[in-house]
Amino acid sequence: MNTFVLLLIGFVAGLFVAVLGTVLAMRKLMVVPHRSHRSFEETCEAIEKVVPAHEGWGFPIETWNFYETFLKKNLVPRGIRKLKVFFVCNAGLASKVISDTPGMAGIMPCSWAVYEMDDGSVWLSKMNIALMSKMFGGAIREAMTEVARMDEVFLRQVLAPKEDDSQEAKEEAAA
């Protein structure tokens, strides 16, 4: 075989491995579950308390009891006892993004899922906005970077033991 064919085969194989590695990494990193040390109800209450406590943040859509929807359709997912989805948004940031790129409305608002497994463990999962922001530039990246920063503030407060629901995280958000 000539050198060109070997180089071409090497290039294609390398490209395949790179694409496969990226896909596998994205599957693992794009939606990340976080274990809560609180009960399902306490975790949901913490989200309802923490998010709107920060200026401009709230829930533009009512919380969805996803488990009840499954139950009514006799389609309950195995291993799950409870499941609620919260729609978290900052209307000011959303407006900037949609003004720049109207199609981005298709991924708004951010969804946070809280679920309880049959073993009693409680989890909060959400899109990794920090990672997703790296795929964009301009106004979208700027807004997503701020959303990612606030997501971390919210997560620390929501997932912290109850006694840590303090002014400290609010001060951290203002920094």
Task: Determine, yes or no, domain membership for 24.
Answer: no
Task: Determine, yes or no, domain membership for 20.
Answer: no
Query: Taking all residues of the chain, what is their mean pLDDT, rounded to a whole number?
Result: 89
CATH number of the domain enclosing 72:
3.30.310.70
Task: Determine, yes or no, domain membership for 139.
Answer: yes
Task: Determine, yes or no, domain membership for 167.
Answer: yes
Tell me: pLDDT of 9 over 90.
no
For the chain, percent of residues with pLDDT exceeding 90? 70
Least reliable range by pLDDT among 3-12, 90-99, 109-118:
3-12
Average pLDDT over residues 8-37: 81
Residue 64 carries which DSSP code?
Answer: E
Tell me: pLDDT of 15 over 90.
no
> What pLDDT sits at residue 168?
52
Overall residue count recorded for the chain in this entry? 175
Question: For residues 30 and 115, which has the higher predicted lDDT (pLDDT)?
Answer: 115
Tell me: pLDDT of 65 over 80.
yes
In angstroms, the CA 27 to CA 43 distance is: 25
Decide: pTM greater than 0.85.
no
Handedness of CA 157, 159, 165, 168 (dihedral sign): negative
In angstroms, the CA 42 to CA 165 distance is: 12
Task: Determine, yes or no, domain membership for 138.
Answer: yes
Measured between alpha carbons, how far apart are the two ends of the chain, in Å?
62
For the chain, percent of residues with pLDDT exceeding 70? 89
In angstroms, the CA 147 to CA 153 distance is: 10
Q: Containing H/E element for 35?
A: strand 31-36
Which pLDDT band, with edges at 50, 70 and 90, does 11 fall under? confident
Task: Determine, yes or no, domain membership for 22.
Answer: no
Domain extent, residue 124, equals 31-174
> What pLDDT sits at residue 174?
58
In angstroms, the CA 77 to CA 123 distance is: 15
Task: Determine, yes or no, domain membership for 166.
Answer: yes
Task: Determine, yes or no, domain membership for 4.
Answer: no
Sheet holding 31-36, edge to edge: 31-36, 122-127, 110-117, 80-90, 57-64
> What pLDDT sits at residue 173?
53
> What pLDDT sits at residue 172?
54
Structure confidence by residue, pLDDT tens digits, 104-158: 999 999 999 999 999 999 999 999 999 989 889 999 999 999 999 999 999 999 9
In angstroms, the CA 46 to CA 164 distance is: 11
Count of structural domains within the chain? 1
Q: Which amino acid is at 89?
A: C
